Amino acid sequence: MGAGKSTLGPALAERLGRPFVSVDAVVEEQTGSSVAQLFAERGEAGFRELEERTAQELLLRRNLSVVELGGGGLGAAATRDALAASAFTLHLETTPDEAWERVAGNGRPLARDPAEFRALYAQRRELYERAADGSARDVDGAVLAAAGIHVAAGAVERLGELVPGAGAIELVLDGGVEQLHGGRVRAALGERLAASHVVPAGERAKTLAEAERLWSAVRLGRDGTVLALGGGSTLDVAGFVAATYLRGIAWVPVPTTLVGQVDAAIGGKTAVDLPEGKNLVGAFHWPARVVADMELLETLPATELANGLAEVVKTGLLAGEPLWELQAAEQVRRCAAFKAAVCLRDPLDRGERAQLNLGHTFAHALEAASAYELPHGRAVGLGLLAALRLSGLEEDARTVAELLRPEPVRVDREAAWAALARDKKAAHGRPRLVLLETPGKPRIGVELDEDDVRAALDSLIVV
Ligand SMILES: NC(=O)c1ccc[n+]([C@@H]2O[C@H](COP(=O)([O-])OP(=O)(O)OC[C@H]3O[C@@H](n4cnc5c(N)ncnc54)[C@H](O)[C@@H]3O)[C@@H](O)[C@H]2O)c1
Ligand SMILES: [Zn+2]
Q: Of all atoms in ligand 1, which is nearest to the CA of residue 236? A: 1
By the 10 Å C-beta count (0-12 exposed, 13-18 middle, 19+ buried), 206 is classed as buried
By the 10 Å C-beta count (0-12 exposed, 13-18 middle, 19+ buried), 386 is classed as buried
What is the model's pLDDT at position 37? Answer: 95
Q: Of all atoms in ligand 1, which is nearest to the CA of residue 234? A: 19
Closest-CA residue to 436 (of 367, 372, 390):
390
Distance CA 220, CA 341 (A): 31
Read off the pTM.
0.95
By the 10 Å C-beta count (0-12 exposed, 13-18 middle, 19+ buried), 154 is classed as exposed
> b/e map of 113-122 (b: 16 or more CB within 10 Å)?
eeeebeebbe
By the 10 Å C-beta count (0-12 exposed, 13-18 middle, 19+ buried), 348 is classed as exposed
Tell me which residue has its CA closest to atom 34 in ligand 1. 300
Could you tell me the distance, in angstroms and rounded to a whole number, from the CA of residue 304 to the centre of ligand 1? Answer: 8
Q: Of all atoms in ligand 1, which is nearest to the CA of residue 267? A: 3
Q: What is the largest CA-CA distance in the chain?
A: 82
Distance CA 197, CA 40 (A): 64
Q: Confirm if 177 and 253 have CB atoms less than 8 A apart.
A: no
Q: How would you write the pLDDT of the chain (463 residues) with one tens digit per residue?
A: 788 888 999 999 999 999 999 999 999 999 999 999 999 999 999 999 999 999 999 998 878 899 999 888 999 999 999 999 999 999 998 888 888 888 887 777 777 888 888 888 888 888 888 999 999 999 999 999 999 999 999 999 999 999 999 999 999 999 999 999 999 999 999 999 999 999 999 999 999 999 999 999 999 999 999 999 999 999 999 999 999 999 999 999 999 999 999 999 999 999 999 998 899 999 999 999 999 999 999 999 999 999 999 999 999 999 999 999 999 999 999 999 999 999 999 999 999 999 999 999 999 999 999 999 999 999 999 999 999 999 999 999 999 999 999 999 999 999 999 999 887 555 566 678 999 999 999 999 999 999 999 999 999 999 8
Ligand number nearest to the C-alpha of 233: 1
CB within 8 Å of 349: residues ≥ 6 apart:
269, 284
Q: What value, to the nearest 5°, has the Cα angle with vertex 147 and ends 145 and 149?
A: 65
Could you tell me the distance, in angstroms and rounded to a whole number, from the CA of residue 126 to the centre of ligand 2? Answer: 43
Q: Are strands 169-174 and 193-199 parallel, antiparallel or unpaired?
A: parallel
Could you tell me the distance, in angstroms and rounded to a whole number, from the CA of residue 6 to the centre of ligand 1? Answer: 40
The H or E element that residue 51 is part of is helix 35-60
Could you tell me the distance, in angstroms and rounded to a whole number, from the CA of residue 395 to the centre of ligand 2? Answer: 22
What is the model's pLDDT at position 111? Answer: 77
Question: Virtual CA dihedral for 462, 361, 418, 278, nearest 10 degrees?
Answer: 110
What is the model's pLDDT at position 427? Answer: 59
Closest-CA residue to 358 (of 329, 379, 327):
379
Tell me which residue has its CA closest to atom 5 in ligand 1. 264
Substitution site in 180, 291, 304, 314 for ligand 1 pocket (most atoms within 8 Å of beta carbon): 304
Could you tell me the distance, in angstroms and rounded to a whole number, from the CA of residue 162 to the centre of ligand 1? Answer: 22
Q: Of all atoms in ligand 1, which is nearest to the CA of residue 308? A: 15
* Cα atoms in the 13 Å half-sphere on the side-chain side of 252: 26
Substitution site in 206, 258, 259 for ligand 1 pocket (most atoms within 8 Å of beta carbon): 259
Q: Of all atoms in ligand 1, which is nearest to the CA of residue 175? A: 37
Pocket of ligand 1 (CB under 6 A): 174, 176-177, 180, 201-203, 206, 230-234, 236, 256-257, 259-260, 263-264, 267, 269, 278-279, 296-297, 299-300, 304, 307
Could you tell me the distance, in angstroms and rounded to a whole number, from the CA of residue 15 to the centre of ligand 1? Answer: 28
Tell me which residue has its CA closest to atom 20 in ligand 1. 202
> b/e map of 33-64 (b: 16 or more CB within 10 Å)?
bebeebbeeeeeeebbebbbbbbbebbeeeee
